[in-house]
């Protein structure tokens, strides 16, 4: 198209936009995670075509400034950029002297009538201040063009409770593209999550380019495609069947993602799983298996349990392989930590392998758990020489750990308690709060998922600091993270559905002060957040409508019954006759009621007049 036509088109578009310009007014704040301090004030600030951005003492070309400018433009806010504060300006400034309260990630956001100030000690703080500001804009801002947006004046002072606010993504069980991973990083940034745990290797596929061992990618990254059947029904590969499902990230793509994450103040932690969960390695390099293991390994398809594949712990070439792989991993990931797995390594092969047993004897080890610890500590020592630290799943404690290793406590809280008492850092990912691959609602109404239930309400109860440790031990708890295993998640669209809105709850548990958590307020904020996420193109679960039951005993032996709910606006009707529907005599639940022990209470949940899911029945037990 000729340049003159382009100019004409631009002018015309601008005129049309000006012509149909609308004004949006935001009255209530729905910020997730909840800030430390919010003071609502009289007055409002209006975004318009006169709004400017000023980067006062950070360069306009630094990554944070570029991100902010680009994001504003993507949201159709045609703001001009300068370096001095003016009227109608959003001014970003770094503190001349550090504000101790804000730390490395905190910020102050002040919305006044004619100016918005965001200040922080670091660019990270400014980035988070900007994320908060974005959550003050209309929920449809990513798709709607407004001529004016009016937001309320306020002062927000904010900083995180925990330094580790993570999100884990399993790209082995299903492969997600670079574009998908970027979308995930955008989601993390929106909720101030800052550690991306990238589960790159597992039985079902090796997902990172390693030049020295090309079969990891030629063989280990590909499996027979069974995407047409549910995960649990996948049949084993037949002789000669083509391995057409999979993929891996080229080094250039890894760099692109790490850079994209850094622009969003997110550190990337690669996980290279040892010594178990390694079918894909053994499919590529069978001689890394134990001496007596005659299994013909394939990159696994569908459930693989118990996961018997294990790298031989007595074979020096396995150790050399691990060092070589780390040599290629280290330059790609600037962050200090590398995750080395360590979970669920079934050691029956080691018990029978003459090489493993010889190593155990030679090193004076007591058992196979100690052999695993020896392997992990060898890799740890290798990484430490290059300035890296390891993280491992809590099984790394079983045979003993160095004091520098960080423990990811997934089998409950015990791993973290043990780690903190031992002086090791711990990251909390207990299954019962953090495994977002579990069902979030009634399986009858949800697509297949890992066979446990973890509703939003439960996620929101997540308290990362385990009971039973002292205040000084609690300092070893770095934070926590949501884990998303991808057995049942064929594509990123479905990953979003599993993550949202539960990831918002995890974010609030990790950022906000414990005493600021407030379930009814969080639930109400999700109305805005869910709509905003949908407008941003994310796939969000509508909600679980089974009422949450609370009972308590009265002095006269009767039981008090009350319900809570997950979705704002839900109306619960109940009955002791088995017919709780509105039109069948159900009683609207508004306050606790009394029944005798053993009574069956049934409920019907409605949203916007529509009956949701099914009739649920509870037997009210004596306590
Ligand atoms: C794990 O879920 N196996 C860490
Ligand atoms: Zn062995």
pLDDT of residue 4: 41
In terms of residues, how long is the chain?
A: 623
- Please give the mean pLDDT across all residues of the chain: 95
pLDDT of residue 18: 42
Distance (Å, whole) CA 279 – CA 309: 5
Question: Ligand 1, atom 1: nearest CA belongs to which residue?
Answer: 343
User: Tokens standing for 97?
Assistant: 């002297």
At residue 295, does pLDDT exceed 60? yes
Distance (Å, whole) CA 194 – CA 267: 6
Reported as type and span, the H/E element at residue 474 is: helix 471-474
Cβ of 411 less than 6 Å from ligand 1: no
At residue 266, does pLDDT exceed 90? yes
CA dihedral 142, 177, 530, 450 (to 10 degrees): 180
**Ligand 1 atom, smallest distance to 485 CA:** 2
At residue 17, does pLDDT exceed 60? no
DSSP letter assigned to residue 605: E
Within 8 A by CB and 6+ apart from 53, the residues are 68, 69, 72, 79, 80, 81, 82, 89, 90, 91, 92
pLDDT tens-place string over residues 160-172: 999 999 999 999 9
Percent of the chain with pLDDT over 70: 97
Residues that are catalytic: 202, 277, 344
Within 8 A by CB and 6+ apart from 477, the residues are 162, 416, 420, 425, 426, 427, 428, 464, 465, 466, 469
**Ligand 1 atom, smallest distance to 393 CA:** 4
Cβ of 438 less than 6 Å from ligand 1: no
Distance (Å, whole) CA 18 – CA 559: 62
pLDDT tens-place string over residues 227-236: 999 999 999 8
**Of 459, 461, 513, nearest to 483 (Cα)?**
459
User: Tokens standing for 138?
Assistant: 């209309």
Cβ of 435 less than 6 Å from ligand 1: no
At residue 332, does pLDDT exceed 90? yes
pLDDT tens-place string over residues 136-161: 999 999 999 999 999 999 999 999 99
At residue 184, does pLDDT exceed 50? yes
At residue 5, does pLDDT exceed 70? no
pLDDT of residue 20: 54
pLDDT of residue 19: 40
Alpha helical stretches, state H, 475-616:
492-499, 502-511, 519-535
pLDDT of residue 2: 41
If you average pLDDT over residues 206-224, what whole number do you get?
Answer: 98
pLDDT tens-place string over residues 58-103: 989 999 999 999 999 998 877 788 888 889 999 999 999 999 999 9
At residue 374, does pLDDT exceed 70? yes
pLDDT tens-place string over residues 603-623: 999 999 999 999 999 999 987
Distance (Å, whole) CA 114 – CA 522: 30
pLDDT of residue 622: 86
């Amino acid at each position: 198209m000729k340049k003159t036509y382009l100019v004409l088109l631009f002018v015309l578009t601008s005129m049309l936009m000006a012509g149909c310009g609308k004004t949006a007014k935001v009255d209530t704040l729905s910020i997730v995670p909840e800030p430390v301090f919010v003071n609502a004030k009289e007055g409002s600030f209006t975004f318009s075509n006169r709004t400017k951005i000023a980067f006062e003492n950070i360069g306009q070309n630094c990554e944070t400034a570029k991100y902010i400018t680009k994001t504003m433009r993507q949201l159709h806010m045609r703001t001009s950029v300068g370096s001095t504060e003016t009227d109608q300006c959003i001014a970003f400034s770094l503190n001349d002297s550090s504000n101790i309260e804000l730390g490395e990630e905190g910020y102050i956001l002040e919305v006044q009538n004619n100016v918005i100030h965001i200040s922080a000690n670091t660019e990270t703080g400014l980035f988070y201040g900007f994320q908060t500001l974005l959550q003050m804009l209309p929920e449809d801002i990513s798709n709607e063009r407004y001529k004016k947006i009016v937001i309320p004046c306020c002062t927000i002072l904010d900083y995180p409770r925990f330094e580790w606010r993570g999100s884990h993504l399993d790209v082995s069980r299903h492969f997600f593209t670079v574009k998908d991973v970027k979308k995930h990083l955008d989601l993390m940034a929106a909720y101030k999550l800052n550690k991306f745990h990238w589960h790159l290797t597992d039985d079902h596929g090796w997902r990172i380019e390693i030049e020295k061992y090309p079969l990891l990618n030629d063989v280990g990254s590909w499996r027979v495609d069974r995407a047409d059947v549910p995960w649990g029904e996948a049949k084993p590969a037949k002789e000669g069947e083509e391995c057409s499902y999979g993929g891996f990230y080229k080094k250039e793509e890894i760099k692109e993602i790490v850079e994209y994450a850094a622009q969003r103040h997110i550190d990337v932690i690669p996980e290279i799983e040892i010594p178990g969960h390694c079918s894909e390695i053994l499919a590529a390099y069978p001689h890394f298996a134990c001496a007596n293991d005659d299994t013909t390994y394939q990159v696994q398809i569908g459930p693989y349990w118990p996961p018997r594949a294990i790298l031989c712990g007595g074979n020096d070439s396995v150790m050399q392989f691990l060092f070589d792989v780390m040599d290629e991993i280290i330059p790609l990931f600037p962050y200090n930590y590398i995750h080395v797995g360590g979970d669920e390594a079934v050691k029956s092969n080691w018990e029978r392998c003459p090489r493993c047993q010889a190593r155990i004897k030679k090193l004076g080890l007591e058992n196979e758990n100690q052999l695993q610890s020896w392997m992990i500590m060898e890799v740890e020592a290798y990484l430490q020489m290059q300035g890296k630290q390891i993280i491992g799943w809590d099984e790394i404690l079983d045979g003993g750990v160095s004091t520098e290793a960080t423990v990811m406590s997934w089998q409950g809280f015990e791993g973290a308690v043990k780690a903190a008492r031992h002086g090791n850092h711990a990251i909390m990912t207990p299954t019962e709060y953090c495994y977002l691959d579990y069902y979030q609602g009634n399986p009858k109404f949800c697509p297949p998922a890992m066979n446990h239930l973890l509703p939003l309400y439960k996620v929101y109860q997540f308290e990362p600091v385990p009971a039973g440790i002292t205040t000084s031990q609690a300092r070893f708890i770095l934070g926590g993270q949501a884990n998303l295993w991808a057995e049942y998640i064929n594509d990123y669209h479905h990953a979003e559905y599993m993550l949202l809105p539960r990831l918002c709850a995890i974010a609030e548990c990790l950022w906000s002060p414990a005493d600021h958590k407030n379930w009814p307020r969080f639930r109400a904020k999700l109305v805005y957040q869910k709509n905003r996420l949908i407008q941003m193109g994310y796939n969000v679960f509508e909600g679980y409508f089974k009422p949450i039951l609370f009972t308590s005993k009265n002095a006269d032996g009767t039981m008090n019954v009350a319900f809570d709910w997950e979705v704002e606006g839900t109306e619960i009707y109940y009955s002791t006759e088995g017919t709780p529907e509105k039109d069948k005599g159900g009683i609207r639940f508004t306050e606790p009621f009394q029944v005798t022990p053993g009574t069956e209470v049934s409920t019907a949940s409605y949203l916007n007049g529509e009956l949701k899911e099914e009739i649920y029945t509870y037997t009210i037990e004596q306590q």
